[in-house]
Copies of this chain bind each other. A is one copy, B any other.
Amino acid sequence: MPSAAAEPLTPERILETTEEVLRRFGPTKATVVDVARALGVSHGSVYRHFPSKAALREAVTDRWLAKSVVMLEGIASAPGEAAPSKLESWLEALFEAKRHKAGDDPELFATYTVLLAENSGVVDTHLTELIDQLTRIIAEGVAAGTLAAPDVPAAARAVFDATGRFHDPQYVAEWFSPTITTEFEAVVALVIRGLRA
């Protein structure tokens, strides 16, 4: 593929192609050689950016998770919206993002579920980022007097845990049940009521 090889070989291009290769071959069969072949470069060129297959898989997992973090950060840091309604928007956006990822491309979602299990460090960092966003939203509400929490980071963690059914990929099979939206709304209402000042 000379035209592909003519483009500069950036980490982003490698990761995009890695996702493509993972989708095509599945997480157990995909190799660095497959990625290099799809890019029309030597596997040495790929290794110059990612020193091992494990590093490449970790980076592609991180990239996938980072997309929702960036989108949710937009909600968390938006000025103007009152904390209780911002909290609701944030939880809705998280659930929607997960449902879309799972529904639009179930095979890729299943592939990433395998990658998540083997990159628990990346997952832990991701969860910390999300809980940090929740912490900032709740702290805003406490400062404005709309929310109450004696220990804001613990409350953020509790909100995250209480809504796990709607973002933990273990529950993917339930996200498309006819009653899931009602169930989601009931949990969100309960949790927000539990934080009201």
Contacts and interface: CB of A to CB of B under 8 A. Distances in A.
Contacts of A164: 164-165
A36 B168 CA distance: 42
Interface range on chain A (Cβ under 8 Å from partner)? 20 to 34
A162 B193 CA distance: 13
B165 A187 contact: no
Contacts of A154: 182, 186
B187 A158 contact: yes
Interface in A133-178: 151, 154-155, 157-159, 161-165, 170
A105 B165 CA distance: 26
The DSSP consensus for interface residues of chain A is: helix
A96 interface: no
9 contacts: A154-B186, A155-B190, A158-B187, A162-B162, A162-B190, A170-B170, A190-B191, A190-B194, A191-B194
**This protein's copies in its complex:** 2
Given A190-B194, A194-B190, A183 B157 contact: yes
A195 interface: yes
Contact of A155 (B151, B157, B186, B191): B186
A183 to B, nearest CB: 6
A154 to B, nearest CB: 5
A158 B170 contact: no
Contacts of A151: 186
Most central of A159, A182, A194 by chain B CB within 10 Å: A194
Given A161-B165, A193-B193, 12 more contacts: A154-B182, A155-B186, A155-B190, A157-B186, A159-B190, A161-B183, A161-B186, A162-B163, A164-B165, A191-B194, A192-B194, A193-B194
